[in-house]
Structure 1
Amino acid sequence: MTAIYLDNNASTPIDPSVAAAMRPYLEEAFGNPSSGHWASTPAKAALEKARGQVAALLDSEPDEIVFTSGGSEANNLAIKGTFFALKHKGEHIITTAVEHPAVLAPCRFLEQLGATVTYLPVDSTGRVEPEAVRRAITPRTILISVMHANNEVGTIQPIEEIGAVAREHGIRFHTDAAQSVGKIPTKVDALGVDLLTIAGHKLYAPKGIGALYVRRGVTLEPLIHGAGHELGRRAGTESALLAVGLGAACALATDLEPMTGIRRLRDHLWEALQHRFGERIVLNGHPEHRLPNTVSVSFVGVAGAEVLAKLDGVAASTGSACHAGRVELSPVLAAMGVPEEIGMGAVRFSLGRITNEAEIDAVVDQLRTHMLPAGSPGGS
C-alpha cells in the first residue's frame, strides 16, 4: 500500500526545517523565559525571535503577537476576551453560519451569559455578503468574526470588504485565518482586521502552538489569569520549543511561491475528476475564491464515507459526520443549501507541500476503478 496524504487542512506534517529549528530546544535553552538569569536568556531570545517571525508573516509588530496553545484558544481569546472587555458597550456579536466550531461554540457559550449573536447566512458557494454584515450591525455590536477561508470547502471570504465595513462603524473585527495562513496573503493591514487567529499545525508547525494577532490598542480580558505573561494577555510560562517551531513555520510561509504548484495540482485533480465522472461529481465551494490546495467534491448518489473506504492508503476527509449511528450532512454544506443527496457524498481532498502529480493521478485511478462500473462513461 502506498500512503497518500491529502488531508492537509486537518493537519500538516512538521516541515523538516521546522523540526531542525526546534531540535536544540529539546535539550538546551530549558530555562523559564521570564526568569532573569543565564538559563532564561537563550529561551527568552528564542521566544522573541519567533514572535518576530510570526509578526513578519502578518506584517505586524512583534508586541501584537500573543502565543497560544493553538487556533481554538486563539479564537476563544478573541471572542470571549472581547465580550468581557467590551460588554459595558454592548453585547452583540456578528458571525457566519459556516464558521469553525472554535468560533461557533464560544459564541453559543456567550449567549448563555447575555450575548446576542447574529449568524449570517452564506450563498451557495459559502460566501457571506459584506452588505449583509453592514445590515446586521446595531448600536450594541462589539465584534464581527468572519473566517478568512473555510476549512471544509476552501471558500475565501471577502475579508477586506468586511474589514472596511467594520472600520466604518468602529467595530472590532476578528478573522479565523487558521486555514489561510501560509496559503494566501494574510497581511493584517490589507485585510483590515484587529484580531487574527493562527494554528501552528495547519502550516507545518507542531500541534499545541498557535497565535493571536492583537492590534495595538485592542484590549482583551484574558482567558487564563495568572502572572503577566504575553504582556498580560495570556498567563502561563511560554514554551520556547513550540514558539520556535511556529516561528520557523511562519518564516517558511513568507514564500508563497510553492502555492503556485499546489494550485496547479488542485486544478489538475478537479479537471481529472470532471473528466472521469462528469455529472456524477459536483464541486463544493467557490470556483474561484478558493484556497489553492482545497478540492471539496460531492459524488452524487454515494456516501462520502463509502468513497473513502474504497481508497487504499489515501488519507482524506468526508463532508459529513456520524452521530449516534447515523450520518448527518455537514453544517457547512447545509448552510450553503447543498441538497442532502449531494452533500452526503462530499469528500475533501486538501493538498500540501509534499503532494505530487503521481499521487493525484493514483487517487483518480483508484476512484475510477472502484466507483465506475464497467462500460459506464469514463470507465474504460
Structure 2
Amino acid sequence: MEPIYLDYNATTPVDPLVVEELLPYLREGFGNPSSSHPYGKKAKEGVETARKRVAGLLDCDPAEIVFTSGGTEANNQALIGTAMANREKGNHIITTAIEHPAVLNPLHWLEGQGFAVTYLPVDGYGQVDPQMIRQAITDKTILISVMHANNEVGTIQPLAEIGAIAREHGILFHTDAAQSVGKIPTRVDELRVDLLSIAGHKLYAPKGIGALYVRRGVKIDSYLHGAGHEGGRRAGTENVPYMAALGKAAELAAEHLATESEHVLSLRERFHDRLKELVGDVLLNGHPTSRLPNTLNVSFAGVNGADLLARTPEIAASTGSACHDGSCELSGVLKAMGLSPEQGFGAVRFSLGRLTTVEELDRAAEIVAARVKELRGIRGGVSHNHVQTGLSALASCAG
C-alpha cells in the first residue's frame, strides 16, 4: 500500500479537473499567445481566462496578476524588484525571522547589494507583534514582507493590522501567501497588501507555475528581461498549459473554500484528539486557533521526530529538523519560536488536504501511537541522543 499522505504543505496532488484544463493546451491549443492567428488567439484566451480566475480568488483586477514559474520566483520578483525600483527612496526592509527561504535568501542577497534588513522575532506561537514592526520603521524603510501563514506550524500572521501600519507610513507591503491561498480567505484588500505571492503546487496545480499580485500603481522592476510579456513585467513566452492549470485550481479553490476549510479543520481536530487519546503527552507547536485549518505540528515527549518518521514508512509527513550524515539541525522556525531542543527535535508536521479521509487519519493515529510507544520503550532502556540520529534519512523536512 502507498503511505498515507499527510504532507500537503510540502506539495499537493494535481486535481483531476486541473489536469483536464491543462491537457488541451498541450494538444490543439499549442499556439503562441503573441501570435495574431487563430492558434495564438486561442492560447491568449486561455491565459486571460486563467488570469481572471486567479484574480477572482484574490478579489483583485486581472491586470494585477503576473504569472511566474512558482512561488520562489514570485517572492524574488516582489522583493528584489520592489527594492531596486524604490532604491532612491530608501534601503531598509522589514521582515520576520520565520520566513521561508524563498524570502530570506533574496533578502540576504539584497543585503549584499547595500540594503539593510531587520529580522523581527516572533512569540512562542510563531506570531510577530505588529507594534514591533511599527517600532522598526525608519525614514529609509521601503518594504515590509511578512508571510501570511507559516509552512511549518501553520500560524497565521495579523496581516491586516500590519498592512494598516504600512499604509500609514507609505511603505509597500508584501506577503508570501504560498501556504494560505486556497486554504483561508486571501482577499488582497482585506489583507491590505500591495504584493502577494502564490505557488501553484500548494494549490492542486502542477509544480513550476505561480503568480504575483502587484497592486495597480506599485513600482516594481522586471525580474526577467526580454519581450514585453505579462504587461512588460515578466519576459518569456507564456507557459499556457500551466497557467490554465493554475487558473482552474484557483477557480476550484474559490468555489469550495469555505466548505473545504471547515471539513479539513474537523478532520485535523479529530486526528489531534485521537493522538492525544492514544499517546497522551502531545505538545502543540503553533497558535492554537489562528492557524491554517489543515496543519498540525506536534511534538511527542521523549521521542525524536526524525526517528519516528523513519520507523513509520506507512505515513508521509515532515519533521522539524534537517538531518544529514547522522546529525540534525533544528528548524529555524521552531528555534525562533523558542522551543527547547527536545520539543523542537520531537516535532512532526502533519498537513491534511482535499483527499484526506477519516479512515486514513484513524489508521495513522494508531500507527503513530504504536511507534511512539516503541521509541519511548527504547529510550527507557538505552541512552538516546535526540540530536544525533542515524535513522533520519527517510524523514522529510518541512517545506
Alignment TM-score > 0.5, same fold: yes
The answer to whether the Cα contact below 8 Å between 2:12 and 2:204 also exists between their aligned partners in 1 is yes
The answer to whether the Cα contact below 8 Å between 2:14 and 2:205 also exists between their aligned partners in 1 is yes
Inter-partner Cα distance in structure 1 for 2:351 and 2:304: 19
Inter-partner Cα distance in structure 1 for 2:161 and 2:305: 35
Q: Which residue of 1 aligns with 2:360?
A: 359
Q: Which residue of 1 aligns with 2:72?
A: 72
For residues 3-34 of structure 1, give each alpha carbon's deviation from its aligned partner in whole angstroms, at most 9, with x where no partner exists: 31100000000001101111111111111111
Q: Which residue of 1 aligns with 2:395?
A: none
Residue type of the partner of 2:95? T
Inter-partner Cα distance in structure 2 for 1:323 and 1:109: 26
| Aligned residues with identical type, % of pairs | 60
Inter-partner Cα distance in structure 2 for 1:134 and 1:61: 29
Secondary structure class of the residue paired with 2:323: strand
Inter-partner Cα distance in structure 2 for 1:313 and 1:375: 19
Q: Which residue of 1 aligns with 2:384?
A: none
Equivalent in 260, 263, 268 of residue 261 of structure 1: 263
Q: Does 1:128 align with 2:128?
A: yes
Q: Does 1:5 align with 2:5?
A: yes
The answer to whether the Cα contact below 8 Å between 1:173 and 1:194 also exists between their aligned partners in 2 is yes
Deviation at 1:211, TM superposition (A): 0.1
The answer to whether the Cα contact below 8 Å between 2:303 and 2:372 also exists between their aligned partners in 1 is no
Secondary structure class of the residue paired with 1:349: strand
Q: Which residue of 2 aligns with 1:192?
A: 192
Deviation at 1:324, TM superposition (A): 5.2
For residues 34-56 of structure 1, give each alpha carbon's deviation from its aligned partner in whole angstroms, at most 9, with x where no partner exists: 12222200000000000000000
Secondary structure class of the residue paired with 1:370: helix
Inter-partner Cα distance in structure 2 for 1:373 and 1:328: 24
Q: Which residue of 2 aligns with 1:345?
A: 346
Q: Does 1:310 align with 2:311?
A: yes
Residue type of the partner of 1:215? R
**Structure 2 length-normalised TM:** 0.92
Inter-partner Cα distance in structure 1 for 2:116 and 2:352: 38
**Structure 1 length-normalised TM:** 0.97
Q: Does 1:277 align with 2:276?
A: no
For residues 251-288 of structure 1, give each alpha carbon's deviation from its aligned partner in whole angstroms, at most 9, with x where no partner exists: 00102111111000101111111122223x21100000
The answer to whether the Cα contact below 8 Å between 1:301 and 1:345 also exists between their aligned partners in 2 is yes
Inter-partner Cα distance in structure 2 for 1:320 and 1:212: 30
Residue type of the partner of 1:111? E
Q: Does 1:321 align with 2:322?
A: yes
The answer to whether the Cα contact below 8 Å between 2:300 and 2:372 also exists between their aligned partners in 1 is no
Residue type of the partner of 2:336? A
Structure 2 unaligned regions, length at least 5: 378-399
Deviation at 1:374, TM superposition (A): 11
Inter-partner Cα distance in structure 2 for 1:261 and 1:66: 31
The answer to whether the Cα contact below 8 Å between 1:319 and 1:330 also exists between their aligned partners in 2 is yes
Q: 1:375 to 1:330 in 2, by over 3 A?
A: closer
Moved over 6 A (4+): none
Inter-partner Cα distance in structure 2 for 1:207 and 1:297: 28
Q: 1:195 to 1:374 in 2, by over 3 A?
A: closer
The answer to whether the Cα contact below 8 Å between 1:153 and 1:284 also exists between their aligned partners in 2 is yes
Residue type of the partner of 2:217? G
The answer to whether the Cα contact below 8 Å between 1:311 and 1:363 also exists between their aligned partners in 2 is no
Inter-partner Cα distance in structure 2 for 1:2 and 1:89: 54
Q: Which residue of 1 aligns with 2:228?
A: 228
Secondary structure class of the residue paired with 1:82: helix
Q: Does 1:50 align with 2:38?
A: no
Residue type of the partner of 1:118? T
Inter-partner Cα distance in structure 2 for 1:39 and 1:93: 45
Q: Which moved more, 1:30-39 or 1:217-226?
A: 30-39
Deviation at 1:301, TM superposition (A): 2.1
Aligned pairs for 1:84-163 within 5 A:
84-163=84-163
Residue type of the partner of 1:180? S
RMSD after superposition: 1.3
Q: Which residue of 1 aligns with 2:38?
A: 38
Q: Which residue of 1 aligns with 2:396?
A: none
Structure 1 unaligned regions, length at least 5: none
Q: Which residue of 2 aligns with 1:23?
A: 23
